[in-house]
Amino acid sequence: MPLFTEKYLIIDYGSTYIKGALYESGPGGVQLRRLESLPLVELEAEALPEAAAGLEAGQYEYNIVRYVQSFFPEESNYILNLPLDQIYVRDLNIPIVNQKQLDEVIPFEVEGLLPVSLDDTEVVGRAWASDEETSNVISFAAGRNTILQTVLPLKRPQAVIRMVSVDAVGLAAFIRTLPEEEYRDRVLGQIDIGGLYTIINVVQDGRLVYTRKLPIGGQHFTDVVATEMKQDAITAEQTKLALELDLSPHTVERPESYFRMHRVTQAQLNRIIKKSRAIVDEIAAEMDRSVLSLPTEAPGEIYLSGGGALMGGVRETLQEKLGARVREYPLELSGSEPVTLWATAIGTANHYRLKQTEKFDFLESPFGNTLKGGQLSLNMFSTPILFAALAAIVFLASTVFDIVQDRRQIQQYDAMIAEESKAVIDPTGKTSADVVRLVREQCLSRARNMQNEGDLRALDILRELTNNTPARSEMHFRLKRLQYTDKTVQVSAEVGSFNDVGRLSEALNTSRLVREVEVISQNSMRDKVDVRLSLQLNSGSGGGSARCQ
């Protein structure tokens, strides 16, 4: 858990929309702060920046910079995904189970399976299953130029690219938002129907096993509407949403008012539904083909996401064609936002929080490290610095207060010593013999007062009891409290055993100041004994003359 607050923006650059999820991590955990989306804009070649290497790269740079400046201009930490159509996916079976050795071997194992040179390619791979001798690995290879073009539009002073992964990997990690018992030791499928393409994933035990991208998406439903209604793409998209198409196997009867309101005939609607169902059937057929080539068992359940999943009847049609349970994710976002639209973005956040040995990150290589960028900024340390400054102020204030109090006490003690000194030493300057005589007379005077009035000082009593207490080498003894009132001394202490209580009582009873020792209480506390003693003092037991010789 981080000790300071940090924000990072996950950008899901789709085929028709850019979606972003802003997260904040800190001592209180990780929280989703904002979700923002923006449709992609297609520009003519002459409208692109001059620095753009090509039409596609220029479109990407324009749209992603436009998105960041529109919604998150103050953010500087980014997490990006490469689209699956720019990645080479390869399945490997390697006779190694150690992850560090796998990281070294995977590029060489996959080299012969790629149509490009490793000199210009970055490869990442992770094992999704291992036995005693071999590991099943899924690997991704991306050209360095592709990674560079993805990162460069966001490279600026203070900006940091935290991770560059794959959109299919982020989608697979969305499974981990489910309760653990829903995906642990299970094989699950994912179908994400995007704008121009559909991603098919198979996940086992929360790890990606298989992925594939189909050139089928929600835009194909729009094309059907545009063809039948003789409309342009923008109008057809609006019509598609307004018609509220239902592609379920059971035909839904529409009232006459429905056709008048949307200016569509029954024949047109029937053709739109029939052709749209054919698109869903094609997705189901491709899913079946994918299941046949899986390196593991068929998924027991399939989760549906993406904008195309919001169309009525898609789930029911897929379920009928696949013969498996097709579900929507049982999750909710604030503001009634459909979670299916944000599966890849939120899943990428889950993937980013995994251990480094489980992540697919193209920036972990020496080449990738050069693209992370970023300079040390004290902004991220603002909160702990504030707390540290306040703590330092409180500490200094308490220290100064203690010093002042100590000096006052020292001055009081110096004054008391000066008063005592006046009663012992003649300030007029006597000889050393006179000084000794004066000190002895003062001492004898104090001793007589103690014998006649019983005026024992607490220090005298404490010294006497200390001298008569058995040594540490003889028994365990720890004084907790000593209370002196008139002719009685209450002693609370801790000794090693009940036998030590008797030894302590006998030792204190030998003191010339003590007349009687009474054990008030003794209680066993774990391996020690708490004891309370009451000491009755002798009247006039000063013995001061012996100390004044």
**Claim: this prediction has a pTM higher than 0.85:** no
248: helix, strand or coil: coil
Residue 128 and residue 183: Cα distance in Å, rounded? 14
Given this chain, do its domains 181-328 and 455-542 carry the same CATH topology? no
Confidence of residue 502 (pLDDT cuts 50, 70, 90): confident
pLDDT of residue 515: 81
Architecture of the structural domain at 455-542: 2-Layer Sandwich (3.30)
CB–CB of 215/15 below 8 Å? no
Convert the pLDDT of each residue in 401-427 to its tens digit.
989 988 888 888 888 887 776 665 555
**Domain 1-178+339-375 belongs in CATH node 3.30.420.40:** no
Supply the mean pLDDT for the chain. 86
Alpha-helical runs (H) found in 244-374: 256-262, 266-292, 314-322, 343-352, 366-372
Domain locations in the chain?
Answer: 1-178+339-375, 181-328, 455-542
Residue 78 near residue 8, CB atoms below 8 Å? yes
The 10s digit of each residue's pLDDT in 352-385 is 999 988 999 999 988 988 888 764 455 556 677 8
Q: DSSP per residue over 93-127, as a string?
A: EES---HHHHHHHHHHHHHTT-SS-GGGEEEEEEE
d(CA 299, CA 68): 38
> What's the confidence (pLDDT) of residue 546?
46
Domain 181-328 has CATH 3.30.420.40: yes
Q: Which residues pair with 545 in a beta bridge?
A: none
Is the model's pLDDT at 504 over the cut of 80? yes
Is pLDDT at 240 greater than 60 in this prediction? yes
Contact call for residues 63 and 19 (beta carbons, < 8 A): no
Q: Where are the beta strands (DSSP E) in 426-510?
A: 477-485, 488-495
Average pLDDT over residues 335-354: 91
